[in-house]
Amino acid sequence: MAYSNMLIDHYEHPRNVGGLDKDSPNVGTGLVGAPACGDVMKLQIEVGEDGTITDAKFKTFGCGSAIASSSLVTEWVKGKTLDEAKSIRNTEIAQHLSLPPVKIHCSMLAEDAIKAAVKDLQDKKAKGAAA
């Protein structure tokens, strides 16, 4: 299978590998996928005072396409509001990395990871406001 240079670059030099403090009220964590299916993504986002995403980190268990997809979205979400981040579509990820058709599910997982991280953060904020 021939992979695009963009994909290989993200695989070989992944951006923003690591973690943020999951207990911080300003950090949202999304953990999607399943080990039994061969891919798991953990995506974390941090928001600043103005509600935009200031930092993002990931860790991924999966094939090169899954690693590249998650690396890419950590770059894309930075500077975005939560709503803007949620509007990132898997098709954009797949197109940017020129994912082969059998790897489209990797981009879908990355989209799910963003949504899960945003939801976690919004749940935290709602809880914080209620308390």
Q: How many residues bind other proteins (CB under 8 A)?
A: 31
Using CB under 8 A, pick the residue from 31, 80, 86, 104 that binds other proteins: 31
Which of 12, 21, 34, 37 is labelled catalytic? 37
Among 8-16, 47-55, 72-80, 82-90, which window interacts with other proteins (CB under 8 A)? 8-16
Among 73-81, 83-91, 98-106, 121-129, which window interacts with other proteins (CB under 8 A)? 98-106
How far is 14 from 70, CA to CA, in rounded Å? 9
Using CB under 8 A, pick the residue from 4, 20, 55, 59 that binds other proteins: 59
| Closest separation in Å from C-beta 123 to other proteins | 16
Among 20-28, 72-80, 84-92, 97-105, which window interacts with other proteins (CB under 8 A)? 97-105
> Starting at the edge strand that comes first in sequence, how are the strands of the sheet with 53-61 ordered?
27-34, 39-47, 53-61
DSSP state string for 71-124: HHHHHHHTT-BHHHHHT--HHHHHHHHT--GGGHHHHHHHHHHHHHHHHHHHHH
Environment class of residue 36 by beta-carbon count within 10 Å: exposed (0-12), middle (13-18) or buried (19+)? exposed
Residue 37 falls in the annotated catalytic set: yes
Q: Which residues are catalytic?
A: 37, 106
